[in-house]
Amino acid sequence: MVSNQERDLDGLCREVASRLPKEKDTILFVDFWGGSPYVACRRACESTGKLAIISGVNLPMLTSFFTKRPEKGFDELIQIVRDDGARGIQLIR
């Protein structure tokens, strides 16, 4: 886990880059699209292996990721996590 607390964008980019595995499929979860964690991940991952950034993280996404990661391939896992996260968003009036 990487936090942007007390870091400027360049420092955050360096921190993310230092933690990314080289030539390994990687999924990064960020709070929301367009924020500094998202931007840092985009900048840092230009030189890594297969990578996906998933924003708007919620509990159904994380549960899906951790339970299905051992049995699913990278591309299928990304789609499942995205779909399960979207299904977890409901409005009841």
Higher-confidence residue of 39 and 70: namely 70
Model confidence, pTM: 0.78
Distances (CA, A) of 13 to 4, 21, 24, 41, 85: 10, 14, 19, 7, 26
Higher-confidence residue of 67 and 31: namely 67
Token pair, residue 27, equals 């999924």
Token pair, residue 47, equals 């030189």
- Alpha-carbon gap, residue 34 to 45, rounded angstroms: 15
pLDDT value at residue 58 = 94
pLDDT value at residue 49 = 66
The mean pLDDT value for 39-67 works out to 85
- Alpha-carbon gap, residue 45 to 43, rounded angstroms: 6
pLDDT in tens, 71-85: 999 999 999 999 999
